[in-house]
Amino acid sequence: MYEILIIRNGEVSIKGMNRHVFESSLIKNLRYRLYEFKDLKISKGDGRIYIYLNGENHLDVIEKAKNVFGVVSISPAIKTDAGYENLKTGIRNLMEESLVNSSNTTFKITVKRQDKSFPMKSPEMNQDIGGYILNEFKDRVSVEVVNPQINMVAELKKNENIIYFEKIKGVGGMPLGSNGKACVLLSGGIDSPVASYLISRRGLYLEAVHFHSFPFTSDKSKEKVMDLAKILSRHTGKIRIHMVNLLEIQKEISEKCPEELMTILSRRFMMSIAERIALEEECNSLVTGESIGQVASQTAEGLLATNNAVETLPVLRPLIAYDKEDIIKLAKEIDTFETSIIPEEDCCTVFLPKRPATKPRLEKILKAEELLDKEALIKKAIEVKEIEIVG
């Protein structure tokens, strides 16, 4: 029955002179996500995006489209020929369809008079069509203007009419690629996949760096990260993962530096390596899953120490003020939680100090780092990295 899907794009519509750029990104992403539906046609107009179904199943298309970043809501709609009588008939037909197996349903009519040449104003049409619907369906419906079960919306246009009553929630955010590309430090834990999802939802493509300590960590640990990236790619598109072995760096730190600084020094190396990879891949920021106070290295002093290792790019921390319960809730919503809690070792558990420094002084860290050939260690780690592509 439905012929059109109306896509509302939220904050994209307030982007002023740059609006067309964001709309074009969203249309491109919708076409990519809906490629299997060969007969669809996608266009924009009236501050919205329209998907013309051309016989495709509207439920299948909605299920895919609602998870595209930038889609705030979707309304399946019918259209009729222009004219007021055609509008009334269309509303009646859609109401009849919506009332199948229903009784005692409350409704409201909302007519938007886009054709200002039509003599009746919207309130008059609301009353007229509301009375018509009451008469047509008699004891099955009643009017409720505050919180109706069905709010039938009809747009009276010069060339056609569009009618709908559902508004299906989309994932929101900004269209992928509209804000560039970020490099995320992706682990096998709960936090970094959630941070990756959130930053991608703001319109950034993802490049990922994963640190491991093979053979101290197993291949299963790397496979777990690949599985997480595959889940994320349902939302983010393709993700390229740079697999970096941190073991030699950790050995050097363990042999030459104070034990309590192992975690923070390892983290500084990760940030430095990730920044160089990010710059090579033309990323405009680094992204981590850190939440302040969650672990020993994520105190304000620890974050200062890791930030200091980054020379050029901003470090984005989408989860910085999240409680763990909130992170877990979102991980479950995006289907990464069950994979994240599979027990596999990671590089952060290798050489874990008994008493990690929680309030490290930057001058002490920098002095300890002088004991290492930092540049050589970073270059070697990057030279032998592996790249995997998922999605």
Q: Is 215 helix (H, G, I), strand (E, B) or coil?
A: coil
pLDDT at 360: 74
Per-residue pLDDT band for 299 (boundaries 50, 70, 90) equals confident
pLDDT at 190: 95
The token pair that represents 127 in the structure block = 């009353």
Question: Do 209 and 244 contact (CB within 8 A), yes or no?
Answer: yes
Give the separation between CA 383 and CA 386, rounded to whole angstroms. 9
Residues 6+ apart with CB under 8 A from 68: 26, 29, 30, 33, 170, 171, 175
Looking at 23-27, 212-216, 253-257, which range is the least confident one? 212-216
Give the separation between CA 207 and CA 367, rounded to whole angstroms. 32
Per-residue pLDDT band for 93 (boundaries 50, 70, 90) equals very high
Give the separation between CA 379 and CA 262, rounded to whole angstroms. 20
pLDDT at 139: 82
Can you spell out the DSSP letters for 331-370? HHHTT-HHHHTS----GGGTT--SS--SS--HHHHHHHHT
The token pair that represents 216 in the structure block = 């101290």
Mean pLDDT of all residues in the chain? 91
What are the tens digits of pLDDT across the range 138-171? 888 999 999 999 999 999 999 999 999 999 999 9
CATH number of 4-169: 3.30.2130.30
The token pair that represents 48 in the structure block = 């919205």
**Exposure string (b/e) for 279-306, b if CB count within 10 Å is 16 or more?**
eeeebebbbbbbbeebebbbbebbbebb
Q: Across the chain, where does the E strand assignment appear? A: 4-8, 41-45, 48-52, 73-81, 105-113, 141-143, 150-156, 160-164, 168-169, 181-185, 205-212, 239-245, 286-287, 315-316, 386-390
pTM greater than 0.75 (yes/no) = yes
In the annotated binding site for ATP, the residues are 185-186, 210-211, 267, 289, 298
pLDDT at 83: 93
In the annotated binding site, the residues are 185-186, 210-211, 267, 289, 298
CATH number of 181-390: 3.40.50.620
User: Does the structure show a pLDDT above 70 at 206?
Assistant: yes
Whether cis (ω within 30° of 0) applies to the bond prior to 215 is: yes
Residues 6+ apart with CB under 8 A from 8: 48, 71, 72, 73, 74, 75, 170
The 3-state DSSP composition of the chain as helix, strand, coil percent (nearest 5) reads 45, 20, 35
pLDDT at 85: 95
The token pair that represents 159 in the structure block = 């060339």
pLDDT at 17: 62
User: Does the structure show a pLDDT above 90 at 27?
Assistant: yes
- SS3 string of 44-112? EECCEEEEECCCCCHHHHHHHHCCCCCCCEEEEEEEEECCHHHHHHHHHHHHHHHCCCCCCEEEEEEEE
Going from N- to C-terminal start, the domains of the chain cover: 4-169, 181-390
Give the separation between CA 288 and CA 199, rounded to whole angstroms. 10
User: Does the structure show a pLDDT above 90 at 68?
Assistant: yes
Q: Once rounded to an integer, what is the mean pLDDT over residues 12-36?
A: 81
